[in-house]
């Protein structure tokens, strides 16, 4: 099979190789997927750059967790009528060396999810980490239909889906964005109020816009940076669900202040989600796709030969939508 891989850590254009690798064998409980697309996420580029020093201990890695394609074979224990099914794939390269940046992947059948005929494989490659992370952040801590939810970085890959999940559930949504273009994106996705998080007093502006009503739940993209402002706008008993803290990787916590606010902090990563949370997300994503209730923002679609450039686009931090690579 044709694949991209790396066997050393470093810059994308220096370490990613493209060529032939052996076809995977289908094991018990697995399906063999002929991939059409692979999605690039921040966790993928961090792995390639060396964030996990033991990742290459067993040999080369075919990167990426997310992708989409068609099941062409099944292992023992999997219904044969799944052959020919269009699917989106998640957790491709997790606790295993071979991910979705290849013609083929053999993977746990639970990680290959039905993709409706009307949904493109390019969109399918965006549904794993972005849509599932957003779902977990929004729904992990109870009903939200009467909540005021703040979504920082609402124009991002996760933030955009979080706005939509929250609106579908009936919440009032406040989002932050960094410029007028991203503000428009958030508004188009359904945000009721959009603030510029580069404004020094955006926390004050938020309370002005809500007429003093504080926030029940936050879906946060930069925990360490945003925490001081968040504490000014949260209700007692609020929840912060955060999935990143890139700018301040080891933030300091004002423990006493947060304790007296009875705050809950939820750290979210798809890989560690309980199976029930994964199945709930898959159920709701499938239903939303079938009803055409989700918008998807794809920033770049690239050929496999440009996969290293795709990694650079994600690393730049300025790419708002998904970066998808066509395998075929």
Q: Would you kindly state where each structural domain of the chain is located, as residue ranges?
A: 2-126+296-326, 130-271
**CA 48 to CA 45: how far, in whole Å?**
5
Q: pTM, whole model, 2 decimals?
A: 0.95
**CA 171 to CA 258: how far, in whole Å?**
24
pLDDT, tens only, 213-232: 999 999 999 999 999 999 99
Q: Judge contact between 102 and 327, C-beta under 8 A.
A: yes
Q: Judge contact between 66 and 132, C-beta under 8 A.
A: no
**CA 288 to CA 309: how far, in whole Å?**
31
Q: What is residue 221's predicted lDDT score, i.e. its pLDDT?
A: 97
Domains 2-126+296-326 and 130-271 share a fold: yes
**CA 228 to CA 248: how far, in whole Å?**
13
Helix (H, G, I), strand (E, B) or coil at 67: strand
Write down the CATH superfamily of domain 2-126+296-326: Medium-chain alcohol dehydrogenases, catalytic domain (3.90.180.10)
Q: Judge contact between 47 and 93, C-beta under 8 A.
A: yes
Nearest Cα to Cα of residue 103 among 208, 1, 174, 205: 1
In percent, the amount of the chain with pLDDT more than 70 equals 100
**CA 300 to CA 320: how far, in whole Å?**
10
What is the token pair recorded at 36?
A: 């059409």
Q: What is residue 318's predicted lDDT score, i.e. its pLDDT?
A: 81
**CA 292 to CA 296: how far, in whole Å?**
11
Contacts of 51 (CB under 8 A, 6+ apart): none
Buried b (16+ CB within 10 A) or exposed e, 282-308: bebbbebbeeeebebbbebbbebebbb
Q: What is residue 328's predicted lDDT score, i.e. its pLDDT?
A: 79
Can you state the angle between helices 42-49 and 307-315, rounded to 10 degrees? 100
Fold for 130-271, please state it: Quinone Oxidoreductase; Chain A, domain 1 (3.90.180)
Listed as ranges, residues in the chain with pLDDT below 70 are none
**CA 276 to CA 279: how far, in whole Å?**
5
Q: Judge contact between 325 and 65, C-beta under 8 A.
A: no
Q: What is residue 268's predicted lDDT score, i.e. its pLDDT?
A: 98
Q: What is residue 317's predicted lDDT score, i.e. its pLDDT?
A: 83
What is the token pair recorded at 136?
A: 């977990």
Q: What is residue 158's predicted lDDT score, i.e. its pLDDT?
A: 96
Residue with tokens 């220096």, as numbered in its chain:
14
């Amino acid at each position: 099979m044709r694949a991209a891989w790396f066997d050393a850590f470093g810059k994308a254009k220096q370490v990613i190789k493209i060529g032939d690798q052996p076809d995977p064998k289908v094991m018990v409980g697995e399906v063999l997927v002929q991939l059409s697309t692979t999605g690039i996420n921040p966790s993928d580029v961090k792995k390639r750059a060396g964030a996990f020093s033991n990742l290459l201990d067993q040999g080369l890695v075919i990167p990426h967790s997310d992708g989409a394609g068609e099941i062409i074979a099944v292992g023992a224990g999997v219904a044969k009528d799944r052959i020919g099914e269009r699917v989106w794939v998640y957790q491709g390269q997790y606790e295993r060396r071979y991910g979705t940046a290849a013609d083929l992947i053999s993977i746990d059948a639970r990680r290959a999810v039905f993709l409706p005929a009307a949904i493109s494989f390019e969109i399918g490659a965006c549904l794993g980490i972005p849509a599932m992370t957003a779902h977990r952040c929004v729904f992990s801590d109870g009903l939200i239909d009467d909540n005021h939810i703040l979504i920082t970085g609402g124009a991002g890959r996760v933030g955009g889906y979080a706005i939509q999940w929250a609106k579908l559930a009936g919440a009032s949504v406040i989002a932050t964005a960094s410029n007028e273009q991203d503000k428009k994106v958030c508004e188009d996705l359904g945000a009721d109020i959009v603030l510029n998080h580069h404004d020094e007093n955006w926390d004050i502006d938020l309370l002005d816009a809500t007429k003093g009503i504080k926030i029940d739940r936050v879906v946060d993209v930069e925990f360490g940076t945003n925490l001081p402002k968040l504490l000014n706008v949260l209700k007692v008993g609020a929840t912060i669900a955060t999935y990143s803290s890139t700018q301040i990787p080891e933030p300091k916590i004002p423990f006493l202040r947060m304790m007296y606010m009875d705050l809950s902090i939820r750290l979210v990563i798809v890989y560690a989600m309980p199976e029930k949370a994964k199945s709930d997300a898959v159920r709701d994503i499938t239903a939303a796709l079938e009803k055409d209730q989700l918008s998807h923002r794809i920033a770049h679609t690239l050929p496999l030969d440009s996969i290293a450039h795709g990694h650079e686009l994600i690393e730049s931090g300025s790419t708002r939508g998904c970066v998808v690579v066509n395998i075929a």
